[in-house]
Amino acid sequence: MARIRTRFSPSPTGFFHLGGARTALFNWLFARHHQGVFVLRIEDTDVARSETRYEEDILDSLRWLGLDWDEGPYHQCARLRIYHDFIERLLDTGAAYYCDCPPERLEEKRKAALARGENPRYDGHCRDRHLGPGPNTAVRFRSPPAGTTQWNDLSKGPIAFDNQELDDLVLLRADGVPTYNFAVVVDDLSMEITHVIRGDDHIPNTPRQILLYRALGATPPEFAHIPMILGPDKAKLSKRHGALSVLAYRDMGFLPPALVNFLARLGWSHGDQEIFSTAELIEYFSLEQVSKSAGIFNADKLLWLNGHYLRESADRDLALALKDFLPQQGVVTDDVDYLTRVTATLKPRAHTLVEMAEMARFYFHDPRPYEEKAAQKFLTPSSRPGLAAIRDRLAALPELKEEALNQIFSEVQKQSGLKMVVLAQAVRVALTGKTASPGLFEIMDILGKEEVLRRLTAALESVTD
């Protein structure tokens, strides 16, 4: 069998979102699994809506996710000559014809048909008028009047359409730019795409495209229509479901492998396994295991996965990633060693890099003002003796290592009569300003003796009777 070739062909008419990312991922995985070729093609035939910033967004997103392409990006607008050549072929064989029906009139008819409850279709007005090229003249496909068009969808199984449901679609607009269905067929054909993997919202386009392949005397590729991603309200994922552009997830502090893992598991499975490295994804991916029904985007699961990948990351790598999120918390540092130690303590507690950066603040800045409730509850006159004792005992220590600290705490606890929880929490608030934080001893070790004493003293001074 010939080498497998897949493609991802977004249109640069909006920011790259999760649905597109998953389609790209499945195409990429399928190609990689079969040692095939993954082609990137930009479908920019909608000249009015296409923008280069959107294309850049797509490319940046794919790179960030690690979905590298082997060919392209090709641009449809650079291939107009090719489409025209193919149009000539269809015109020559009579499979296509010129049409000068005014779009406005067609639009009226469409609305009227919809209102009547009919499937709106072109009425074939120009079918046999034998028009030649001219201004305001488009080229239409002469679609067969009867029969059925079917294919064996690699994901959904056999699908059949009655040709009567299909109409004479426009192939080439009056301005000479090809329409989607035509450009796709020409491109997939000339780029020798063997497997078209796309969202199942494209199912209605498929019979039209198959007919075009036939008219061109070509064999259609294999098709696999994957289920769409729906929002929590079960409607097609859209802006109102919150952040959706892939890069927005990067900015929210998600890791590429987490997003890739999440996207892969949404609509695809491999037994009960939940965590997949990219290598495993490539090894296990198959179209047969793609589910048929739409999936709902589950933000909680993404968060959980991201937390998992955060914990799996090496401290130093994570510290470097975290560095970019620090400035928005007012933290600027170049001390990667220090940051690496900080990161190690934050790792198990965060779901995103943004969360982690928030938690990292006290390592760099004075914890005051303390969280009001925390201070009220734990920095009280009754905890003062314990706090002071801790500070004084610490001051006598050469360095703040766990073993010594442990002993000091239990001794002070006994002497002061405070509950260990109360004593520890008082110290915690003094050092971090909060009631929740990484372990006290690791914090102290990282902060260093001098800073710990300073914070303890400040806390003692803040206690009023």
Partner RNA sequence: GUCCCCAUCGUCUAGCCUGGUCCAGGACACCGGCCUUUCACGCCGGCAACACCGGUUCAAAUCCGGUUGGGGACGCCA
Which of 92, 128, 175, 334 forms a contact with RNA (CB under 7 A)? 175
| 181 lies in the binding site for RNA (CB under 7 A) | yes
Q: How far is the CB of 44 from RNA (least distance, A)?
A: 7
136 belongs to the binding site for RNA (CB under 7 A):
yes
Footprint of RNA on residues 295-354 (CB under 7 A)?
A: 295-296, 298, 300-301, 303-304, 307-308, 311, 348-349
151 binds RNA (CB under 7 A): no
- Does residue 127 touch RNA according to CB under 7 A? no
Does position 11 bind RNA by CB under 7 A? Answer: yes
Measured from the CB of residue 3, what is the shortest distance to RNA in angstroms? 25
Q: Is 165 in the site for RNA (CB under 7 A)?
A: yes
Which H or E run includes 332? Answer: none
Report how many residues bind RNA under the rule CB under 7 A. 92
Query: Can residue 102 be called a binding residue for RNA (CB under 7 A)?
Result: yes
Q: Is 403 in the site for RNA (CB under 7 A)?
A: no
Marked catalytic residue, from 111, 239, 373, 401? 239
CA atoms within 13 A on the CB side of 238: 5
Our CB check for RNA shows the closer of 290 and 319 to be 290
Beta strands (DSSP E) in 180-320 are 195-199, 222-226, 229-230, 295-296
- Of 91 and 106, which has the nearer Cβ to RNA? 106
Decide: helix, strand or coil at residue 152.
strand
The 3-state secondary structure of 1-29 reads CCCCEEEECCCCCCCCEHHHHHHHHHHHH
- Backbone angles phi and psi of 171, in degrees to 5: -100, -40
Distance CA 404, CA 396 (A): 11
Binding to RNA, residues 206-265 (CB under 7 A): 227-228, 230, 234-236, 265
Cβ contacts of 126 within 8 Å, gap of 6 or more: 97, 98, 99, 100, 101, 140
Q: Is 100 in the site for RNA (CB under 7 A)?
A: yes
146: tokens are: 């009867």
- Binding status of residue 292 toward RNA by CB under 7 A: yes
Where b means 16+ CB within 10 Å and e means fewer, 185-200 reads bbbbbebebbbbbbbb
Report the alpha-carbon distance of residue 412 to residue 8 in Å, rounded.
Answer: 65
Are 117 and 111 within 8 A, CB to CB? no
User: Near RNA by CB under 7 A, which window of 24-32, 58-66, 171-179, 384-392?
Assistant: 171-179
Q: Does 156 participate in catalysis according to the annotation?
A: no
Interface segment toward RNA; rule CB under 7 A; list 64-72, 79-87, 164-172, 364-372: 164-172
* Positions marked catalytic: 239
